[in-house]
Amino acid sequence: MADKSATRFHESLRKIYQRAPLPEAWKYQGNLPWADPAFGARMLQEHLDDSHGAASRVSAERARQVDWICDRLDLKAGDRLCDLTCGPGLYAVEFAQRGVHVTGVDFAPTSIAYARSLAASEGVETRCNFKQQDIRSLDLAEAKFDAAILLYGQLGVFPRSEAAAILGAVHKLLVPGGQLLLEMLDPAKVDKTDTNWWFTDDSGIWGESAFLHLGERFWDDAQQLSTERFHTIDLATGQLSEMQLNDQTYQPADLAGTLRESGFDEPALLPAWNGLELYDAAEWLVYIAPRT
């Protein structure tokens, strides 16, 4: 067994050595394997870790965001909100606790299962409806929501054509006068340098036991696209896994045009969450687009 692991480890290192100099954009659909049960379980732990905001913002910041969104979108008890890429329901439950009826959509089964249990434990399950769906193929009743949110730059993990189709589908979900709040990275703050890194750990998002992790980040200026490629070797078995994450950056005028083409009115643009106290607020632009 040891000899097989050593051989596999050697093969894994050779594969990394022989990797393409530049990764193929949108390989593995350009996203992390959220629907994989093992990866999803590890990612869930990152979402629930209130010591950092790497996966989900910490609870105090989420509460401030929810209050701000309710005020800005004039969301009241009884109103209907669609939370797209809702993850484990941390925002959805916050909204439900304020009387808002929330439909959360995410394609990670681990996240949806946790969201349902969280809503039940907080006594708001009657105001929460969680659906395991890919937002590229939304299957929700049209024209029923007063507002929709798509936070933490999640629209950027889709190619431009798919992102435009998603915005068109969201437009159909909103009642006339309904609003979409969209959070995207500020292109002026995006790191455009090519970088690489490596580290080891006993467990974490990249593995359930000791692993070696090597990552690379590439910037394509013509496409305004970053690509991160991750290689992880399980140190017990020598097994190699490869993942990739793409992030499409948009200039404000570009995204505003896509929103208009999707049927929305001219969006309001609020840099840095309009001064809201978030540790990373300066990195983000908030678009609020009303439906005609």
> Which single residue is written with the structure tokens 């004039």?
74
Same-domain status, 243 and 255: no
Residue 269 forms part of a structural domain:
yes
Average pLDDT over every residue of 29-39 = 90
User: Does residue 16 come out as left (phi exceeding 0), alpha (psi in the -120 to 50 range) or beta?
Assistant: alpha
Better pLDDT: 29 or 229: 229
Same-domain status, 88 and 139: yes
Which range among 2-16, 25-39, 249-263 has the greatest average pLDDT?
249-263
pLDDT tops 60 at residue 49? yes
pLDDT tops 70 at residue 264? yes
Give percent of the chain with pLDDT exceeding 90. 93
Model pLDDT, residue 67 = 98
pLDDT tops 80 at residue 2? no
Average pLDDT over every residue of 26-50 = 92
Model pLDDT, residue 223 = 97
Residue 87 forms part of a structural domain:
yes
Q: Are strands 80-84 and 101-106 parallel, antiparallel or unpaired?
A: parallel
Model pLDDT, residue 135 = 96
Domain of 158 in residue numbering reads as 40-187+250-290
Residue 60 forms part of a structural domain:
yes
Average pLDDT of the chain, as a whole number: 96
From CA 62, how far away is CA 149, in angstroms rounded?
Answer: 13
pLDDT tops 60 at residue 197? yes
Residue 116 forms part of a structural domain:
yes
Same-domain status, 162 and 230: no
pLDDT tops 60 at residue 1? no
pLDDT tops 70 at residue 178? yes
Average pLDDT over every residue of 48-63 = 93
pLDDT tens for each residue of 265-283: 999 999 999 999 999 999 9
Same-domain status, 141 and 47: yes
Same-domain status, 63 and 177: yes
Model pLDDT, residue 292 = 84
Residue 35 forms part of a structural domain:
no
Same-domain status, 62 and 182: yes
Same-domain status, 264 and 237: no
From CA 83, how far away is CA 89, in angstroms rounded?
Answer: 9
Distance of CA 166 to the CA centre of its chain: 14
Residue 94 forms part of a structural domain:
yes
- What tokens were used for 19? 């990797």
Give percent of the chain with pLDDT exceeding 70. 99
Residue 98 forms part of a structural domain:
yes
Same-domain status, 153 and 234: no
pLDDT tops 70 at residue 122? yes
Same-domain status, 62 and 124: yes
From CA 41, how far away is CA 207, in angstroms rounded?
Answer: 11
pLDDT tops 70 at residue 291? yes
Same-domain status, 162 and 197: no
Same-domain status, 172 and 244: no
The count of structural domains within the chain is: 2
- The CATH number linked to 100 is 3.40.50.150
Residue type, 257: G
Residue type, 17: Y
Same-domain status, 183 and 195: no
pLDDT tens for each residue of 142-151: 889 999 999 9
Average pLDDT over every residue of 8-16 = 95
Residue 266 forms part of a structural domain:
yes
